[in-house]
A and B are shown apart, each in its own frame.
Chain A
Amino acid sequence: MKYQSQKVAYAYFLVAMGLFAIQVMGGLLAGWVYISPNTLSVLVPFNVIRMIHTNALIVWLLLGFFGAAYYLVPEESEREIFSVKLAYLQLIILVVGTLGAVGSYLIGIHGGREFLEQPLWVKLGILVAAVIFLVNISLTVLAGKKTAITNILLMGLWLLSLLWIFAFINPDNLSLDKMYWWFVVHLWVEATWELVMAAILGFLMLKLTGVDREVIEKWLYVIVATALFSGILGTGHHFFWIGTPSYWQWVGSIFSTFEVVPFFAMMSFAFIMVWKGRRNHPNKAALLWSLGASTVAFFGAGVWGFLHTLHGVNYYTHGTQITAAHGHLSFYGAYVALNLAMFTYAMPVLRNRAPYNQVLNMVSFWLMTGGMAFMTFTLTFAGTIQTHMQRIVGDYYMDVQDQLGLFYIMRFGSGVAVVLGALLFIYSMLVVRREVVKPGPIAQPGE
Chain B
Amino acid sequence: MSEILTKSRARNVFYGGSIFFVVVFVALTVQSHYYITNKSTAGMELTDEVVLGKHVWERHSCINCHTLHGEGAYFAPELGNVMTRWGAMDDPELAYEILDGWMKAQPSGIEGRRQMPYFEITDEEMRGLAEFLRWADQTDTQNWPPNDAG
Contact = CB atoms under 8 A, between A and B. Distances in A.
Interface of A: 33-34, 36-38, 41-42, 45-48, 50-51, 110-114, 117, 148, 172-179, 214, 217-218, 221-222, 224-225, 228-229, 232-233, 235, 238-249, 251, 315-316, 318-321, 323-324, 390-392, 394-398, 401
Contacts of B107: 41-42
Contact of A398 (B41, B71, B77): B77
Contacts of A174: 41, 54, 68-69, 132, 135-136, 139
Nearest to B63: A114
B115 A45 contact: yes
Nearest to A390: B149
Nearest to B32: A244
Contact of A391 (B46, B68, B140, B147): B147
21 contacts: A37-B114, A42-B115, A42-B117, A47-B64, A47-B75, A50-B64, A50-B65, A172-B51, A178-B69, A218-B5, A222-B10, A233-B21, A242-B69, A243-B40, A246-B142, A315-B144, A316-B146, A318-B70, A319-B72, A391-B147, A397-B77
Contact of A173 (B10, B24, B37): B37
A224 B41 contact: no
Contacts of A148: 7, 11
Q: When A and B form their complex, which 6 residue pairs have the shortest distance between CB atoms, in order from nearest? A: A112-B58, A319-B70, A47-B64, A241-B144, A221-B10, A41-B115
Nearest to B52: A172
B54 A172 contact: yes
A228 B73 CA distance: 28
Contacts of A36: 112
Contact of A244 (B35, B50, B76, B115): B35
A348 B27 CA distance: 48
A435 to B, nearest CB: 39
A42 B25 CA distance: 44
B41 A242 contact: no
A399 to B, nearest CB: 9
A112 B59 contact: yes
B21 A228 contact: yes
Contacts of A395: 149
Given A113-B63, A225-B18, A249 B41 contact: no
A227 to B, nearest CB: 9
Contact of B18 (A229, A239, A240): A229
A202 B131 CA distance: 52
Interface string B108-131: 010111110100000000000000
Contact of B73 (A114, A217, A242, A316): A114
A148 B68 CA distance: 42
B94 to A, nearest CB: 20
A14 B49 CA distance: 47
Given A114-B72, A243-B141, A228 B18 contact: yes
B82 to A, nearest CB: 10
